């Protein structure tokens, strides 16, 4: 019984070695070491060679199929990547606020609706909304104002069905202006919410 187990193990090991294509082909393992006639041996050799050829063909076919599959995957990933980039750009669109206000403009609701559909199409995505302020307000108060702007957007998104846990909020106060100018045009740009994808943004689907 023990002897049989050893034999099975030996043959398994041999099979494993043979299956490992990266290693040089070892000589076929003698399956049974019984006394053979010359005719039997020749017949066995012939069958073995047919079997080897068949296995080689199957392996080549499998490799070819695998390569094709890899290529297909790569192609589609590139396509998804291109689409993903478009979605990402779309998603990064900022929304803007009035001076010292944190309520969502009606014009900006469409932008937020887009974000809702992106987040619905990509349920793995989590995001961070960061509120920003212009330079006119008080330094420290603007941290609270920026926070409120971020929370406004989050409330909009969650009220449109996005899970609360997928949206983090943050505030830069007036510390990270997009436009360093000191005029209304610059201020208007700097009063915004930024939307960053924190996780799950590798392959974004189009909504």
Partner 1 sequence: MSRVAPGSFAPLLALALGATVRAGTAQDTSRIDRGVRIGIIYRPGVRPGMVVLPAAAVPDSVRAIIARDLEYSDRFELITLPGGDSIHLATAAAPAPAAPAAGRTGTSGAKPASGAAAATGLNYPLYQALGADFAVTLTAAKADSTIATVHDVAAGGVRRELRVHLPPPTAPEFRMAVHRLADRLLDAALGVAGTAASRVLFVLDGKVYSIDQDGAELKLVSASEHTALSPAWAPDGRRFAYMEFWQGRGRLFIEDLATTKRAAVAVLGQALDFTPAFSPDGKTLAFSRGNEEGTDIYTVNVKDGCCLQRLTVGRFADNLSPVYSPDGQRIAFVSTRAGAPQVYIMGADGTDQQLFAPFDYGVTGASYAPDWSPDGRSVAFHRDVGGTYQVFVLDVRMRAVRQLTSVGRNEDPTWAPDSRHMAFVSDRSGVRQLWIVDVETGRIRALETQSGARLPAWSPRLPETTTSTP
CB atoms within 10 A of CB 162: 20
Residue 172 within binding range of partner 1, rule CB under 8 A? yes
- Residues 105 to 164 in contact with partner 1, rule: CB under 8 A: 128, 130, 138-141, 143-145, 147-148, 150-151, 154
Q: Smallest distance from the beta carbon of 148 to partner 1, in angstroms? A: 6
Residue count (the chain) = 207
Letters for 21-50 (x = contact with partner 1 by CB under 8 A, - = none) are ------------------------------
Q: Which of 84, 122, 169, 190 binds partner 1 (CB under 8 A)?
A: 169
Q: How far apart are CA 141 and CA 58, in angstroms?
A: 71
Q: How far apart are CA 162 and CA 84, in angstroms?
A: 20
Residue 171 within binding range of partner 1, rule CB under 8 A? yes
Q: Smallest distance from the beta carbon of 60 to partner 1, in angstroms? A: 52
119 contacts 156 by C-beta, under 8 angstroms: no
Q: How far apart are CA 171 and CA 10, in angstroms?
A: 66
104 contacts 129 by C-beta, under 8 angstroms: no
- Residues that bind partner 1 in the complex, under the rule CB under 8 A: 100, 128, 130, 138-141, 143-145, 147-148, 150-151, 154, 169-173, 175
């Amino acid at each position: 019984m023990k002897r049989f187990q050893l034999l099975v193990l030996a043959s398994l090991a041999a099979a494993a070695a043979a299956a490992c294509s990266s290693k040089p082909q070892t000589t076929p393992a003698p399956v049974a070491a019984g006394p053979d006639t010359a005719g039997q041996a020749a017949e066995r050799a012939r069958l073995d060679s047919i079997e080897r050829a068949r296995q080689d063909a199957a392996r080549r076919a499998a490799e070819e199929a695998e390569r094709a599959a890899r290529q297909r995957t790569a192609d589609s990933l590139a396509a998804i990547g291109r689409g993903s980039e478009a979605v990402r750009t779309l998603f990064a669109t900022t929304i803007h606020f009035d001076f010292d206000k944190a309520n969502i403009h009606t014009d900006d609701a469409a932008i937020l609706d887009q974000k809702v559909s992106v987040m619905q199409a990509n349920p793995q995505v989590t995001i961070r909304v960061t509120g920003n302020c212009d330079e006119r307000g008080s330094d420290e108060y603007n941290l609270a104002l920026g926070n409120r702007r971020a929370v406004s957007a989050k409330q909009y998104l969650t009220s449109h069905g996005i899970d609360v846990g997928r949206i983090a909020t943050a505030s830069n106060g007036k510390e990270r202006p997009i436009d360093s100018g000191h005029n209304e045009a610059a201020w208007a740009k700097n009063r915004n919410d930024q939307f960053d994808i924190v996780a799950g943004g590798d392959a974004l689907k189009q909504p």
